[in-house]
Amino acid sequence: MNNPWIDLPFESPFVIKDDWSAIEDFNSKNKQSDYEIKTSLFPEPYIGNLGAHVVLLGLNPGYSGNADELDFTSEYFKGLCRDNLLHEKNEYPLYYFNPKLNHTSGYKWWKQKLREVICEAGARTVANELLVLEYFPIIQNVLNQ
């Protein structure tokens, strides 16, 4: 199977062609709610090393408004997101542990949630040995069709 994220646009809206109708349908039912898919932000269906020893199943990540908008518009951040989607090697596969992102809401959230694990193993180890997969309701809708 080819990696569908290769076709992710370089400009907003960040939606691959195969997902467009499902996302439009989903957003039409969830306009301006906590569930609306923010197509102005890079998608994060997974974050981290696909060969990691530990896999976390998450729900749709939250949205931090202006903080996320600022984070996701940084060319450096967008590059890390794209590299992750394309399975490019990175010193911090779970890129929120990259010290250059310590100002972002994602860095602060993950560091707080995994502080005990980080204290035991170190941030670089966690960044390399953890994969986060997002279970997203739109996926379930597509599977049920």
Instruction: State the pLDDT at residue 145.
Output: 42
Q: What is the mean pLDDT of each run of 10 residues along the chain (145 residues)?
A: 90 91 90 85 90 89 64 82 92 94 89 96 95 73 43
- Find the helix or strand (DSSP H, E) in which 131 lies: strand 130-134
- Rounded Cα–Cα distance for residues 55 and 74 (Å): 27
Instruction: State the pLDDT at residue 141.
Output: 44
Ranges of each domain in the chain: 41-143
Instruction: State the pLDDT at residue 116.
Output: 97
- Rounded Cα–Cα distance for residues 121 and 21 (Å): 42
Q: In what order do the strands lie in the sheet with 54-58?
A: 46-48, 130-134, 54-58
Report yes or no on whether pTM surpasses 0.85: no
